[in-house]
Amino acid sequence: MKRRDFLKNTAASSTLLGLGSLPLSSFESANALEVKKITILHTNDVHSHIDPFPANHPKNPGQGGVARRAAVIDQIRKAEEHVLLLDAGDIFQGTPYFNYYGGELEFKLMSMMKYDLATIGNHDFDNGVEGLLAQLPHAKFDFVSANYDFRNTVLDTHVKPYKIFKKGGIKIGVFGIGVELKGLVDKKLYKETVYNDPIDITSHFAKKLKEDEKCDIVICLSHLGFEYKNDPEKVCDRMLAQKTKNIDLIIGGHTHTFLDKPIVEKNSAGQDVVINQVGAYGINLGRIDFYFDNKMNLSSTGRKIIL
């Protein structure tokens, strides 16, 4: 992206202009102007909401709808070169589209919107592991989950712990984390799926992605839930952010939390982790832009987070 466009498009433009001390020779300044932008778009808990809410709906009149979300995503894709589109689970269950067709249409539409990756929510087990497997041929995107062990189920080999994307020379590692199934989903649906501790698994895979795979951005696609005020011991995205390191962004789901804007937590190494969740039903689309350059925009306190 050209620097001029970048300045026009970002809310940070005034700060950037204030920096002033740009390199001198034309050679160096050509490099200094190199700004890469990675745009992460995300949804969670869409729950089979394919049509928008009716105009007279008491809570969300006229909001949501796949055909409109697709239009918004398309517009962003036209303006941005490097876009990743992610979903944090509970794609299934919530409208008759799921009861009648078992998730077929949800996956077909997400494929058409060019979703890159999703994780598995508890309701994605609602037709059993077999029901999810049966719909996978309709999904032209992958599923990741690092803490569900599917080895003794029909989903074995269909779900990987993480996936790495390369966009404009930037390496982005995304791993999935799911909520505890016992007591939440009937055992006859999840069968022999094993739930492993989210914090242990996250520490392992975030380190692997950041240090071994040298990912520039590490994203956790989580269906743990944002937070549990009545049950502060229960693992949630805020706790996950605080108790681990090597994660840049947690995209959450499960608790249907409508955040006004993304929040920031400090991780175990004192670094910032951005957490975002966009409620439910496709009412909102989350957007997180990561800007990369050769440190010209780096402030003395590290990277800047504008929310």
Residues 224-283 that bind another protein (CB under 8 A): 230, 248-249, 259-262, 274, 276, 278, 282-283
Cβ distance to another protein smaller for residue 161 or 286: 286
Instruction: Report the residue from 8, 11, 18, 269 that binds another protein according to the rule CB under 8 A.
Output: 11
Choose among 250, 221, 235, 77: nearest CA to 144.
221
Instruction: Tell me: does residue 19 bind another protein (CB under 8 A).
Output: no
49 DSSP 8-state letter: -
Instruction: Tell me: does residue 77 bind another protein (CB under 8 A).
Output: no
Instruction: Tell me: does residue 154 bind another protein (CB under 8 A).
Output: no
Residue pointed to by tokens 């190494």: 269
Cβ distance to another protein smaller for residue 19 or 194: 19
Choose among 53, 281, 266, 81: nearest CA to 169.
81
Report CA torsion sign: 200, 183, 142, 89: negative
87-146: contacts with another protein (CB under 8 A): 93-101, 105, 108-109, 112, 126
Instruction: Tell me: does residue 214 bind another protein (CB under 8 A).
Output: no
Distance CA 7, CA 193 (A): 48
Cβ distance to another protein smaller for residue 56 or 157: 56
Instruction: Tell me: does residue 65 bind another protein (CB under 8 A).
Output: yes
Cβ distance to another protein smaller for residue 139 or 159: 139
Neighbouring residues of 29: CB distance < 8 A, sequence distance ≥ 6: 22, 23
Instruction: Tell me: does residue 149 bind another protein (CB under 8 A).
Output: no
Nearest distance, CB of residue 281 and another protein, angstroms:
10
Distance CA 294, CA 292 (A): 7
Q: Specify whether the CB–CB gap between 221 and 237 falls below 8 A.
A: no
User: Which residues are bridge partners to 200 per DSSP?
Assistant: none
Instruction: Report the residue from 44, 45, 69, 255 that binds another protein according to the rule CB under 8 A.
Output: 69
Give the Cβ contact number of residue 80 at 10 Å.
16
Instruction: Report the residue from 80, 142, 216, 227 that binds another protein according to the rule CB under 8 A.
Output: 216
Nearest distance, CB of residue 56 and another protein, angstroms:
8
